[in-house]
Amino acid sequence: MIHNVFFDLDGTLTDPKDGITRCIQFALGRLGREAPPNDELLWCIGPPLRESFSRLLESDDSGLLDMALQYYRERFSEVGIYENSVYPGIPTALQKIYAGGLRVFLATAKPKVFAVRILEHFDLLQFFHGIYGSELDGRLTDKAELVAHILKTEGLNPEVSLIVGDRFHDVMGGKKNGVATAAVMYGYGSREEIEDAGPDFIFHSPSDLAVYLERTVKPVATDDRSPVGGSG
| Catalytic residue numbers, as ranges | 8
97 with 213: CB under 8 angstroms?
Answer: yes
> How far apart (Å, rounded) are the C-alpha atoms in residues 232 and 215?
29
Rounded to whole angstroms, how far apart are CA atoms 179 and 97? 18
Distance CA 37, CA 41 (A): 7
Q: What is the DSSP letter of 102?
A: -
Dihedral over Cα of 13, 16, 20, 23: its sign = negative
Contact 104, 94 (CB under 8 A): yes
The values of phi and psi at residue 14, to 5°, are -130, 155
Contact 131, 110 (CB under 8 A): no
